[in-house]
Chains A and B, each alone.
Chain A
Amino acid sequence: MHGVQGFMYPNEIELQWSILIVLYPYITGLVAGAFILASLERVFNVQAVRPTYRLALLTALAFLLVAPLPLQLHLGHPERSFEMYLTPHTTSAMAMFGFVYLWYLMVVLLVEIWLDYRKELVLAFRASTGLTRRFYQVLTLGSNNISPASLRIDDRVGRIVTIIGIPSAFMLHGYVGFIFGSIKANPWWSTPMMPIVFLFSAIVSGIAMVMLLYIVLNWWRRAAIDMVCVDTVARYLFYAFLVDFSLEMLDLIHRIYEADESFRALDFMVHTKLFVSQIVLQIVVGTLVPIALLGAMQLVRVAPRVRVNVYLAAGILTLIGIFAMRWNVVIGGQLFSKSFLGYTTYKLGFATKEGLLPAILLMILPFGILAVLLRILPPWEPAASHEPDAAPEAAAV
């Protein structure tokens, strides 16, 4: 049989979960990670990362809006998906997705963004005319009081929402890990480490994404890059990466040392079908290299221009590495037979319902949404946007 080595149960030969299901944990991970970066400033008072605060929130929102789409596209009956809200099956991990998602979107992210932008929304409403005025009026939700006392309340409530938001972000992505980690039939997935590994890889990918966006958008705007901010973000990325890598290695070492009934099959898979995506892309290119790059920046002081480029490279490699990690979990978990006697092949289509093209479009979409959000709700500090050429050297970085 083409693409099959050894023996697969006949129903296993075709993969069930496609590249779209790879995107799902990738995108929700970016959401959770970006939000956790934002909460560093808000809750833990890390002032240095303040310039990324709003950008991180908007990034989280842009990706969160796209997060359910790959799932929806993947369903055999998308028109029935609403049944998950009406008649959720309480023992199903998947049934909770809708509720976790709505909680995170409606209670955490939208409220926090609204509170943080309320003053600007009211000012924009007052300063504009015509349709724009109406638009901003709707966004203010009729709450026009921007007295210092009122803004103080906003700030306090915002802080509380963020404090609720952190466990919610943990829940959102830890939960996605649980969807895989709780499948006892699949030894590649079934581990209590899965939620925590997903969580830390989410933090890593979210921080990397916001860092990249911050650097690229400031180049685009010809604005100065706040090096203290970028250095701090990169340092947090480095720390999160160390934890993430340690957890993944712990999982790996544990599997190798225990070498249970599934080990031979999984080991063979990692050395053959998953070699490029797991060993090369995920571990070497996507983890060891960026950790080395970020680590080197902690040890040696180099010019800002070089540092930014190193961060950029590290960030891009990180995003590739985390994508490869999601791929290896989702696709890798379906390449071997549950009989441990054989392997199948994933055939990725292009312009099919679950092919490469829709996957690429779904990955571009959040950036489109983000572009709109950046226009409606500019995240930039007023000082920076007013003097784009104030620090030409830094801007040229």
Chain B
Amino acid sequence: MDTSRRDFLILGSKMFVMTSVAASAFEHVLAGTPEAAATYNTADHWWAMVIDIEKCVGSGHCVKACKLENGVIDEPYYFRTWVERYHVDPLDMDHPKVDSPNGGIDGFPETYPDSTTTGKTFFVPKLCNHCVDSPCTQVCPVGATFRTNDGVVLIDKDYCLGCRYCVQACPYGCRYIDPRTNTADKCTLCYHRITKGLQPACCETCPTGARQLADLKNPKDPVHEFLRTHQIQVLKPQMATGAKIYYSGLDGSVR
């Protein structure tokens, strides 16, 4: 076959252009695929968390650890996880008093001394529920937020438009817009840690072990024993989001 230098150059540059286009298109196809560690297989895991309300003492360590580990902006109103304190008066069970000073990051001032008040007081740690049928991923106009194969809801910050529709759609108030990037942000379940066999920062630092990471696909995970022996509830079950943060000892007044 006779190939002149001119033909060769034309063909070569065509191939170069097409390969570059295909490569950049493929990057779009890959957007939304989680970073995989060498030995980590997403199909082998299904992540969740169990929270034992009776163990939580409202220390706020989880909030602090989360902010440090994930570089969450250190100001009020931006939390990947926070702790709420509920006080339920027996005469008005439907309308609990709730507070969460600065997300509970420095613990809670004593407001309800045991001797002077009736009713009960308890702490509820909150975070993204990593819902199976998550309303936030449903509404994202470009699919910048998505659920991974192993059941974690993540956000692609390079793709997020910052339209805030997901923040509106989350029934649990778990999302916010990071003012530094103008994109949505929320708990990743410390995906960078759990895919390396580590615990999320909040679980690692919890002084009472109230928060436990759970891999529901791992038959050896102690979560199975916990689920067998405890009454489990999720937040706002009427929202039918398939929430995967499982609470033990959750009071009916919590919303």
Contacts and interface: CB of A to CB of B under 8 A. Distances in A.
Q: Do A and B come from one complex?
A: yes
Interface residues of A, number: 42
B160 A77 contact: yes
Interface string B72-94: 00001111001010000000000
B21 to A, nearest CB: 13
Interface stretch (B10-18, B44-52, B138-146, B201-209): B138-146
B100 A7 contact: yes
Given A76-B163, A87-B142, A10 B103 contact: yes
Size range of the chain B interface in the assembly: 35 or more
A285 to B, nearest CB: 29
A394 to B, nearest CB: 50
B106 interface: no
Contact of B141 (A17, A76, A88): A88
A179 B176 CA distance: 19
Interface stretch (A142-150, A180-188, A291-299, A380-388): A180-188
A59 B199 CA distance: 59
Nearest to A96: B141
Interface string A171-208: 00000000100111110000000000000000000000
Contacts of A119: none
A92 interface: yes
Given A10-B82, A16-B168, A89 B77 contact: no
A339 B160 contact: no
A16 B169 contact: no
A77 B161 contact: yes
Which has the most chain B C-beta neighbours within 10 Å: A74, A77, A91, A340? A77
A10 B76 contact: yes
Contact of B139 (A77, A88, A183, A334): A183
B144 to A, nearest CB: 8
Given A76-B177, A80-B159, A87-B31, 10 more contacts: A7-B98, A75-B163, A83-B161, A86-B28, A91-B139, A92-B165, A94-B163, A183-B135, A185-B169, A341-B95
29 contacts: A7-B99, A9-B173, A10-B78, A10-B79, A10-B82, A10-B100, A10-B102, A11-B79, A11-B174, A13-B77, A16-B167, A77-B160, A77-B161, A77-B183, A80-B160, A80-B161, A83-B142, A83-B161, A84-B161, A92-B139, A92-B142, A92-B165, A94-B139, A95-B142, A183-B139, A184-B135, A338-B173, A339-B98, A341-B98
Interface of A: 1, 7-14, 16-17, 71, 74-77, 80-81, 83-84, 86-89, 91-95, 97, 179, 182-186, 334, 337-341
Question: Top 6 nearest A-B pairs by Cβ distance?
Answer: A76-B162, A9-B173, A76-B182, A185-B171, A89-B143, A95-B141
